[in-house]
Structure 1
């Protein structure tokens, strides 16, 4: 079927000849294109309209400028106008047969909807939504345009910044981290240290270290990319029943190659886990609390979930809660949280005292605990 803009409607004149008739959809579509074009050109951005005969899911090509200078940053825009695009919470643009071209093209595609009643423009990043759906193994049929993403004089600068950053995501040394982030479903900051590894089974592992954080994050394709908090002292060899001695990091079982890779990652990024020079250390309380170092920990928190348990992080724990703990032999027992406070010796970490013991274990804030569900 040809694109909708190529379909002509005809009327018959007095001589019996066919005359082209303008479709009713043309007016709201032209109003939408004109509104977006006027807004962009008013702020000196360059807009090139695509001829209707060559419209294959793109109405405008937009080249951004900065301080009246043309940049190399460009996006494509699919524009829709009229009441028919309204959906719950906003608007929707059908993907149709454009899924592959919108997702895999060299230039990102954005969707813009014009509401004729309010005369307001709204936008969405179609390429980003399609790639996120693909990662989750979903076939996206509609681009969701949120009503909070309004496009006007006040919000245009923020939109342009986001669009330019996304258009530049595959340029220079940023390309690899963007690809890895899209694969794992996370967004890396420019200062983050990111290392990729593929094991012998073809599984992807990503080591992610933020600066000034005392722990790192492991992202593993075989764990459905669920972030796991790891730290150097969590690398160990544990004697498991039946299996025997196996290398592990926190509660993740490794093979020897993965263990060597993580060891090298921790060795190379040790400087990044140090606190920033201008960070003030936490003050000790009136009663000086003792702290166990990470290397002194015996066992680790259980992450086993049942109908009566839920997963929480160390920073979410409060006194009086029941959590579950694994010994080095994988025996599980319940422990009562007695007290929680910020670590003095390891800035950013959390100290947790269990079962009214005189000393406490130290945890990184993202470490996970299986906690007994609270009563409703």
Structure 2
């Protein structure tokens, strides 16, 4: 390994767990009721209609923040939160040749256990940490899963899945629409999640670590990748009541294609991570082209995915999952738009 420079930000680890309502106070909402399967409940008071402001579009990660006293999802949603020390055991930068990367990552990681919604013997755990490329060169990273240990140093039975696809700026190759890397001088969240984590398991977490992080040149196979331009005029709406008679609110996001070329949307759904004011990931969801067009997915045709120069496109979740299946209370939405410029 070359002279790899990694600086852990000094921070005081917070080992105490606390129960959080997670969200600002909203107004009128929907029906009341607890989460499915027990183990946590919420008021089911949905956040009032609001129009979050765009704070960043860097890397085709479109970040929207709500105004004070507004929220996305539920007005209140129970969750357990903690911040624990985080380490990376080894960094492999052999693919970077003569590049000497400067990479900054927080020394603690923020963990949240969602305590409402569907519970099949455990809830989702979300882990979030910020990474910054301080080099003059773009590069990509290939992370391993994050593992957890208790106060005695024993390995716990739960870890996280790899969510590197939602961890950086969009880069383009000839065929892939979901290739994300870390451009020079940019900071992005790396967010990942674990499944079926109980409250006792969560309380036992004392430290977190990643065995290896591989840094790579921006390429896919033998093809070089280039940073994708961003789309223009992003706008978000949280609609309550929701569209098309939905009993849940609707999350809607719109863009304008001012790239000068035809844009081809990824033919899958587009991920949204919901965050709170303290930088904790509180849940995730997707926005869909078919919901915005009022069609079934199987009725979409290839032309539906093409955005002509100057045209707009809208993606929606007409029954927003952050109010329904995986309820949470958020003040920020990070939308990961995946698209390709056709030949």
TM-score scaled to structure 2, two decimals? 0.20
Asked which structure has the greater CA Rg, the reply is 1
Structure whose residues are more often strand by fraction: 2
TM-score scaled to structure 1, two decimals? 0.19
Higher relative contact order (CA 8 A, sep 6+): 2
Structure whose residues are more often helix by fraction: 1
